[in-house]
Amino acid sequence: QVQLVESGGGVVQPGRSLRLSCAASGFTFSSYGMHWVRQAPGKGLEWVAVIWYDGSNKYYADSVKGRFTISRDNSKNTLYLQMNSLRAEDTAVYYCARESVAGTKGDAFDIWGQGTMVTVSS
């Protein structure tokens, strides 16, 4: 079935790096824009980054611009989030999510992963 599975979360010290992965299955991954969304403990949802279906464009929230990099490997059906210079305020559950319509740029998110927890603490 259509599924997204995140991995790579954990506990990391401030200033260090971490890379998250999101493995997609059950659909043509290379046809869909993909997003990362995060949720700090007890807080609401915060959009983090998007990458177009072909990887040609990427956009970021101001809070992570210059520190995080979204990428994808369509041959491996996998989405990534490279997180550098991590801060305590980056502590959150990180979800990957799929845009609901293939090939579009800007749509609702119809498929979500279960999330992976990132804790930034010394």
Partner 1 sequence: EIVMTQSPATLSVSPGERATLSCRASQSVSSNLAWYQQKPGQAPRLLIYGASTRATGIPARFSGSGSGTEFTLTISSLQSEDFAVYYCQQYNNWPPYSFGQGTKLEIK
54 near partner 1, rule: CB under 8 A: no
Phi, psi dihedral angles at 53 (to 5 degrees): -55, -30
72 near partner 1, rule: CB under 8 A: no
Span 76-115, contacts to partner 1 by CB under 8 A: 95, 100, 106-110, 112-115
50 near partner 1, rule: CB under 8 A: yes
At residue 76's C-alpha, the angle toward residues 81 and 35, to 5°, is 35
CB of 99 to partner 1, least distance (A): 8
Which residues are at the interface with partner 1 (CB under 8 A)? 35, 37, 44-47, 50, 59-62, 95, 100, 106-110, 112-115
